[in-house]
């Protein structure tokens, strides 16, 4: 289940190679999990040869795997609720959720900011990847030429993300705060994508004074591609 959560769809052979057991053993366990509703199977037809069965966590399986992430989310939402001002409460509805999840993003960024110390964007991307893998927010990075593409096959709190866009926006905001560079969210699992994806333009490099300001405890200024700082 952990491998399927981290990697997304896998074949029996993929899982057997990583776990170090036979294909038959993996297939028997997968059959049980499919019967229990934790895993979904999809038949993929190949140009040649027999079709290949690919397995992925079902919605129920993803929720079961995310228990630790939900607990972290609740632990961060509680103080965010306590900090709401009367004016913010009066706004009601989605506006409150936007405020709450923005503060959750700030909380996560504050927790991991001491691990993101590099000056060069490429190195900061790697440091953010390592830090947010623990949160279930990121899993891999790909160099796309003009952009870095950050990816995550699973969703740390899928049912919540499907209820409000503010949840996915908070993940993007967390990455942006830690990088000190603009981040575009181009795909989410909650909206039907096969993974969550974020684009980071290579032209946006945080200035040293901006990094220091963020590490001092305030919101980290975000730099546009032209290099001007803006508080978001």
**Structural domain count of the chain:** 2
- Asked if residue 38 and residue 127 are part of one domain, the reply reads no
Q: What is the pLDDT along the chain (232 residues), one digit of tens a residue?
A: 888 887 778 999 999 999 999 999 999 999 999 999 999 999 999 888 889 999 988 888 877 877 888 888 999 999 999 998 998 888 878 889 999 999 999 999 999 999 999 999 999 999 999 999 988 899 899 998 899 999 998 788 888 888 899 999 999 999 999 999 999 999 998 888 888 999 999 976 564 434 444 444 433 333 333 333 333 3
Q: What is the pTM of this model?
A: 0.70
- Asked if residue 164 and residue 82 are part of one domain, the reply reads yes
Which CATH number does the domain housing residue 87 bear?
3.30.1380
- Asked if residue 79 and residue 109 are part of one domain, the reply reads yes
- Asked if residue 16 and residue 48 are part of one domain, the reply reads yes
Which residue range forms the structural domain that includes residue 38? 2-65
The packing angle between helices 23-35 and 12-19, to 10°, is 120
- Asked if residue 122 and residue 217 are part of one domain, the reply reads yes
| 2's tokens | 């952990």
| 199's tokens | 């684009």
- CA 210/CA 218 separation, integer angstroms: 10
Which CATH number does the domain housing residue 36 bear?
1.10.10.10
- Asked if residue 158 and residue 57 are part of one domain, the reply reads no
Question: What SS3 state is found at 227?
Answer: coil
Helices (H), the chain: 2-7, 12-19, 23-35, 59-65, 67-82, 86-91, 93-112, 121-133, 158-163, 165-179, 208-215
């Amino acid at each position: 289940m952990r491998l399927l959560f981290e990697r997304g769809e896998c074949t029996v052979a993929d899982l057997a190679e990583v776990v170090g057991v036979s294909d038959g053993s993996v297939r028997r366990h997968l059959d049980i999990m499919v019967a229990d509703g934790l895993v979904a199977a999809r038949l993929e037809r190949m140009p040649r040869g027999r079709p290949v069965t690919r397995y992925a966590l079902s919605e129920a399986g993803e929720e079961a795997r995310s228990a630790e992430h939900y607990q972290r989310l609740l632990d961060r939402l509680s103080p965010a609720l306590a900090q709401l001002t009367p004016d913010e409460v009066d706004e009601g509805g989605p506006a409150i959720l936007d405020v709450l999840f923005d503060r959750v993003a700030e909380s996560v960024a504050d927790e991991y900011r001491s691990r993101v110390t590099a000056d060069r964007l490429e190195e900061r991307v790697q440091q953010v990847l390592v830090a947010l893998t623990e949160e279930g927010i990121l899993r891999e990075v790909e160099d796309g030429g003009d952009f870095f593409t950050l990816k995550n096959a699973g969703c740390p709190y899928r049912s919540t993300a499907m209820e409000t866009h503010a949840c996915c926006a908070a993940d993007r905001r967390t990455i942006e705060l830690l990088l000190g560079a603009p981040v575009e969210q181009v795909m989410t699992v909650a909206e039907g994508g096969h993974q969550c994806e974020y684009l980071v333009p290579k032209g946006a490099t945080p200035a040293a004074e901006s990094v220091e300001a963020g590490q001092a405890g305030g919101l980290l200024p975000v730099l546009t591609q032209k290099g001007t700082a803006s508080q978001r």
